[in-house]
């Protein structure tokens, strides 16, 4: 039991016994008011349990657990709607996997009330040991991933610089969109194998910050592309392959005036040297969202400039 529930059970067990009531009142006065939430109390219980087990098994570790708390106008019943699960759980798993640098599978172990609380854990093969513990020499990939994910969510809530976690942004962006669609706020609590706890949330404030970071700006530069024409379209589009190798880079060059391409009378296999505008659309995190190459004119013959788009 966590939180104040043990107090309530104690009062119910004692019933109307005046002496017991007086003794209980004195005990509660001595203990003081418990002003921590259930997650914090549970973390203390886990740490105490692990310390006790390690008296007999020094390398014992606790089972890892992820608690996902959803709050919003439709969560009072403590149930998980199918559409929420489909939209929300995969982005969480994808973000953890990306942060860990290896695929991490998570599985739901239960749903509880108090808004909607989803209990999950990494898919593992625990070694035999005391109940609630497992042996492991290193922290799990899930714990590594959750460390990065919770750090990113805290940065979003604080509207801080998040470029350090750019590789996770798309997964969190998907999660943020789903939360906004269903009018939900997200709270994450991760209980690691050593008794530690990491907590983070993504509320309306964080979601609005994600929206701002998603906005793009253009960055243009003029470059020269040299190579061989491998595809043509009358609509004003040419593919130029820079080199004879099978894996040589190819550029899709767009002509703003398709008639200009027609007047050039190009044929497949022609060697060309184009001046083009290379445009990158970057979001505020620094991620390139799109690229395009627009024809500006002919260029003198020279080695092609390699640009990875």
User: Would you list the DSSP string of 129-196?
Assistant: -STTEEE-SS--HHHHHHHHHHHHHHHHHTT---GGGGGGHHHHHHHHHHHHHTT-EEEEEEE-TTS-
| pLDDT tens by residue, 85-103 | 888 999 999 999 999 989 9
Cα angle 73, 74, 77; round to 5: 120
Give the number of other Cβ atoms within 10 Å of residue 143's Cβ. 22
pLDDT the model gives residue 300: 77
Counting Cβ atoms within 10 Å, is residue 270 exposed (0-12), middle (13-18) or buried (19+)? middle
Greater confidence (193 vs 292) lies with 292
The four Cα atoms 121, 125, 131, 133 give a dihedral, to 10 degrees, of: -70
- Rounded to whole angstroms, the Cα distance separating 157 from 33 reads 30
Residue 50 has pLDDT above 70, yes or no: no
pLDDT the model gives residue 279: 95
Q: Provide the pLDDT confidence category of residue 76 given band limits of 50, 70 and 90.
A: confident
pLDDT the model gives residue 218: 94
Instruction: Report yes or no: 78 and 116 within 8 Å, Cβ to Cβ.
Output: yes
| pLDDT tens by residue, 253-264 | 999 999 999 888
For range 162-169, the mean pLDDT: 92
Instruction: Provide the mean pLDDT of the chain.
Output: 82
Query: By C-alpha distance, which of 228, 249, 98, 89 is closest to 170?
Result: 98
pLDDT the model gives residue 74: 86
| pLDDT tens by residue, 32-47 | 555 555 656 666 666 6
Residue that the structure tokens 């657990």 belong to = 65
The length of the chain, given as a count of residues:
309
| pLDDT tens by residue, 1-19 | 444 455 555 555 655 666 6
Instruction: Report yes or no: 58 and 194 within 8 Å, Cβ to Cβ.
Output: no
Tell me yes or no: is domain 216-298 CATH 3.40.50.720. no
- Rounded to whole angstroms, the Cα distance separating 278 from 293 reads 5
Residue 185 has pLDDT above 80, yes or no: yes
pLDDT the model gives residue 106: 92
Structure tokens at 56: 């007999």
- Rounded to whole angstroms, the Cα distance separating 279 from 304 reads 17
pLDDT the model gives residue 150: 95
Residue 148 has pLDDT above 90, yes or no: yes
Residue 305 has pLDDT above 80, yes or no: no
- Report strand pairing: 185-191 vs 65-71: antiparallel
Residue 138 has pLDDT above 70, yes or no: no
Q: Which element (helix H / strand E) includes 209?
A: helix 204-214
Q: Provide the pLDDT confidence category of residue 63 given band limits of 50, 70 and 90.
A: confident
pLDDT the model gives residue 243: 82
Domain boundaries, the chain: 38-214, 216-298
For range 191-213, the mean pLDDT: 91
Residue 236 DSSP symbol: T
């Amino acid at each position: 039991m966590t939180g104040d529930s043990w107090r309530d059970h104690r009062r119910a067990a004692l019933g109307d016994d005046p002496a017991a009531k007086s003794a209980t009142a004195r005990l509660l006065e001595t203990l003081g008011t418990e002003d921590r939430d259930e997650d914090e109390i549970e973390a203390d219980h886990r740490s105490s349990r692990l310390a006790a087990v390690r008296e007999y098994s020094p390398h014992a570790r606790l089972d890892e657990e992820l608690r996902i708390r959803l709050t919003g106008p439709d969560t009072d019943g403590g149930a998980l709607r199918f559409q929420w699960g489909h939209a929300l759980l995969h982005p969480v798993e994808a973000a953890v996997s990306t942060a860990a640098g290896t695929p991490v599978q998570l599985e739901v172990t239960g749903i509880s009330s108090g808004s909607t609380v989803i209990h999950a854990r990494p898919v593992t093969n625990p070694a035999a040991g005391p109940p609630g513990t497992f042996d492991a020499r290193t922290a799990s990939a899930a714990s590594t991933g959750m460390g990065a994910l919770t750090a990113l969510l805290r940065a979003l809530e604080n509207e801080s610089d998040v470029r350090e976690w750019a590789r996770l942004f798309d997964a969190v962006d998907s999660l943020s969109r789903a939360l906004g669609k269903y009018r939900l706020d997200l709270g994450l609590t991760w209980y690691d194998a050593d008794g530690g706890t990491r907590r983070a949330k993504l509320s309306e404030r964080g979601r609005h910050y994600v929206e701002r970071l998603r906005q793009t700006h253009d960055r243009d530069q003029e470059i020269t592309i040299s190579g061989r024409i491998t595809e043509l379209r009358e609509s004003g589009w040419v593919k130029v392959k820079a080199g004879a190798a099978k894996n040589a880079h190819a550029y899709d060059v767009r002509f703003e005036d398709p008639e200009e391409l027609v007047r050039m009378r190009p044929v497949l296999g022609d060697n060309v040297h184009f001046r083009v505008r290379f445009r990158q659309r970057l979001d505020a995190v620094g991620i390139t969202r799109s690229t395009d190459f627009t024809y500006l004119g002919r260029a003198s013959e020279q080695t092609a400039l390699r640009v990875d788009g």
